[in-house]
Chain A
Amino acid sequence: MSLNRRNFLKTSLAASTAIALPIPAFAADVLNVALIVPSPAADVGWSHTLELGTKALEAKYGDKIKVTLLENIAEGPDADRIMNKTVADGNTFLILGSFGYMEGGLKLAKAHPEVSILHASGYKTAPNFSPFGARYYQGTYLMGMAAASLTKSKKLGCVGAFAIPELITSINAFTLGAQSVDPAIEVSVVWVNSWFDPASEQQAAKALLSQGVDVIFSNAQDTPSVIQTAEEAGVYAFNLNSSMKTYAPKKYLGVVATDWAPYFLQSVDAHLAGTFKGASAWLSMADKCVIVADWNPDIPADIVAKITDVQAKLESGAFSPFTGPITDQSGAEHVAAGVTLGDDMILSMDWHVKGVTTPLPK
């Protein structure tokens, strides 16, 4: 702890008398930011990238900002209490790192108009409450192209956390990207119904391997289990959010990384200027939020050139993976030729494209 007057007073008061109640007193010119995440922040994964985003805030504002990280907070009544507590303690900028914090966060936003809240992967908005997310599907499309160039069995696999639109779109784009290189590619999916469950993730990866899958997409896991299992089996794998290359030095296909720093900085700037406005932010490659990196050197040069080309079009907005014709699992044409799906259709996607062999849980 830094030994300033406030902390010294607090510590000595509480320690010496034990019943004296230290009053949370924050210097007015320091912005207190709380980041609440559902899993341990650890060294990799979703929560880790959010934490990195707040590090950029600290780097810019220095001692004018204080970030409190609250990790491993289960969604539900406890999370609501903890959010209330952060505001009571003087935090006026909150970053809520999970969908399940939505209702509690929204109530809090309404009760405290002076507080600005960013909420990950939700769909509700309030004047001081902004949902945010990343267009992972842009990156997974490119990963699909790379995977198609390396697979021998023409069977790709995906371990998915929850069958929600965000993950479904990633899998569909991955499949479409692979089919753009080789139309015969098939993708099977295993849902583990958890964001953080190393044992189930490992089992799911093994189940895919036993089906002859030779590239695995670790879709929204906060642990390197899938990546490690694939490396041991000599099979390529990639994941989202932050690089796990150290866990799979040979067979790491790459990462669809997210950088929240630009968005967090922009939101905090707006909050400090008093111009924060609740609005949905679905961030893309053009926003420098979705980044593909750590490509495996085994990818053939002609595919690398193709990927670079498509990536440029994704960044400029000239190309969307969800441009027709797209056939769904039943074989029916879901998106007509020449039509590009709008954001609302992508955000609520509840169907798989043809080539994904596993039916969607209903």
Chain B
Amino acid sequence: MKLVFERREAASRSATLATPLIALGLTILTSLILFAALGKPAGQALYSLLLEPFDGWYNISELLLKMGPLMLIAQGLAIGFRANVFNIGAEGQLIIGAICASALPVYFPEGTSPLMLPAMIVMGAVGGAVWAGLAAGLRTRFNANEILVTLMLTLIATQVLNYLLLGPWKDPHGFNFPQSVMFPDVALLPILLPGTRVNISVLAALIVSGLAYVLMRHRFSGYQLLVGGLAPRAARYAGFSEDRAVLMSLLFGGLAAGFAGACEVAGPLGQLQRSVSTGYGYSAIIVAYLGGLNPLGIVISAFLMAALFIGGDNAMVSADLPVAAVFVFQGLLLVFYLGSLTFIRHRVTFSWQGPA
């Protein structure tokens, strides 16, 4: 017997819209069993995981804080992914962005110039773009696989961060602990909602999302990018450059990730430290694909992904869930979603003929 997945010509619209609900329903059912088996309060756990992140202004502000970098990085990555250029190293580009942005407050901790913050953001974004640009150069010049190169550059970025924090950029009054000085006020992003931690970078991320939409839909260069990646030969025939598509894809990705890194150190962190990112660069890959590589979809998926992360943390605090159960819940939701999507986009047929 053979199982054949055949792509449907058009996926049912109502089924596509129902996918998230189907996935959610299956996840809730499965996790109810899981939580019951663990002897944990299932009602409290589901409330913490799914509803509490949206409950009240404080929780929503934390959601916005968490979604900002995810959305920003995913928008940058999606440009490349649509062109079949796979930048897996946004994490490293974020770290380099955070480092470049931190250079100013580290060397001028008493600074008072209002230009410090804008300069930090620019340095962060450019730093991220340069780091991704290395991978672009290696790909266009030597045909080195950008997936491997961006990934390995992340390891190097982490070591650069370690070197700086254990050496020259260490807080001189910090007892050798690997972290920089606390930044001066002029190096910090203004708070968006008073009394919360969310800063104006989330607005910047929304603006970037708008720009990404315009690029994809209304700009010829967006089309060139798409064709250059998807069908390099056709693109060459049409006079579009594949190298240019690779370069632009990686530069946009690096720019966005570096920007996000700058916003993290100038935002909730307020200093450069080892855990400058909790895996935003990797999570953003999931966000980009869950959003269907569509700029509007990514805004929604970033919001939901942030809620999923925060809900997981809440459940550990309030429902006493072990961290592994939280990961299982988050994994179930993704697997059920992608699984449902596969069945909606594909027709499954059994064929009884012998092996072809």
Chain A interface (Cβ within 8 Å of chain B)? Answer: 1, 7, 10-15, 18-19, 21-22, 24, 34, 40, 68, 70-78, 80-82, 85-86, 89, 99-100, 103, 123, 162-165, 168, 193, 347-348, 350, 361-362
> How far does the alpha carbon of A73 sit from the alpha carbon of B41 in the complex, in Å?
22
List of A residues within 8 angstroms of B274 by Cβ = 75, 100
A80 touches B268 (CB 8 A): yes
List of B residues within 8 angstroms of A34 by Cβ = 317
Q: Report if B144 contacts A (CB, 8 A).
A: no
A82 touches B44 (CB 8 A): no
> How far does the alpha carbon of A164 sit from the alpha carbon of B178 in the complex, in Å?
8
A13 touches B176 (CB 8 A): no
Q: Report if B177 contacts A (CB, 8 A).
A: yes
A77-B66, A85-B313, A361-B167 given; 13 more Cβ-contact pairs under 8 Å: A1-B39, A11-B43, A11-B44, A14-B43, A14-B46, A14-B47, A15-B42, A15-B46, A76-B268, A76-B269, A100-B274, A162-B178, A165-B176
List of A residues within 8 angstroms of B270 by Cβ = 103
Q: What is the 8 Å Cβ interface bit string for chain B, positions 67-105, against chain A (1 contact, 0 not)?
A: 000000000000000000000000000000000000000
* Contact partner, B317, options A10, A22, A68, Cβ 8 Å: A68
Q: A164-B176, A348-B175 are in contact. Are A72 and B275 (CB under 8 A)?
A: no
Interface residues of B in 307-323 (CB under 8 A from A): 309-310, 313-314, 316-318, 320, 322-323
* Contact partner, A85, options B40, B167, B177, B317, Cβ 8 Å: B317
Query: How many CB-defined contacts (below 8 Å) exist between A and B?
Result: 113
Interface residues on chain B, number (Cβ under 8 Å): 44
Q: Report if B276 contacts A (CB, 8 A).
A: yes
A-B contact pairs, 28 of them (CB 8 A): A11-B41, A11-B44, A18-B46, A18-B51, A21-B47, A22-B43, A70-B316, A72-B323, A75-B273, A75-B275, A76-B268, A76-B278, A77-B267, A78-B309, A78-B313, A80-B268, A81-B62, A81-B197, A81-B313, A82-B316, A89-B318, A100-B273, A103-B271, A163-B176, A168-B176, A193-B162, A193-B178, A347-B175
Q: Report if B166 contacts A (CB, 8 A).
A: yes
Q: Report if B65 contacts A (CB, 8 A).
A: yes
User: What is the distance, in angstroms, from B291's C-beta to the closest C-beta of chain A?
Assistant: 22
Q: Report if B110 contacts A (CB, 8 A).
A: no
Q: Report if B182 contacts A (CB, 8 A).
A: yes
Chain B interface (Cβ within 8 Å of chain A)? Answer: 39-44, 46-47, 51, 55, 62, 65-66, 162, 166-167, 175-179, 182, 197, 264, 267-271, 273-276, 278, 309-310, 313-314, 316-318, 320, 322-323
A162 touches B166 (CB 8 A): yes
> How far does the alpha carbon of A347 sit from the alpha carbon of B314 in the complex, in Å?
36
* Contact partner, B320, options A19, A68, A73, Cβ 8 Å: A68
List of A residues within 8 angstroms of B166 by Cβ = 162-163, 193, 361
User: What is the distance, in angstroms, from A282's C-beta to the closest C-beta of chain B?
Assistant: 13
List of B residues within 8 angstroms of A13 by Cβ = 43
> How far does the alpha carbon of A50 sit from the alpha carbon of B33 in the complex, in Å?
31
List of B residues within 8 angstroms of A11 by Cβ = 41-44
User: What is the distance, in angstroms, from B349's C-beta to the closest C-beta of chain A?
Assistant: 38
**Lowest 7 A-B CB distances belong to which pairs?**
A14-B43, A11-B43, A77-B268, A15-B43, A14-B47, A76-B275, A75-B275
User: What is the distance, in angstroms, from B318's C-beta to the closest C-beta of chain A?
Assistant: 6
List of B residues within 8 angstroms of A350 by Cβ = 176
> How far does the alpha carbon of A34 sit from the alpha carbon of B313 in the complex, in Å?
13
List of B residues within 8 angstroms of A10 by Cβ = 41, 43-44
> How far does the alpha carbon of A305 sit from the alpha carbon of B104 in the complex, in Å?
57
> How far does the alpha carbon of A328 sit from the alpha carbon of B270 in the complex, in Å?
36
> How far does the alpha carbon of A312 sit from the alpha carbon of B278 in the complex, in Å?
45
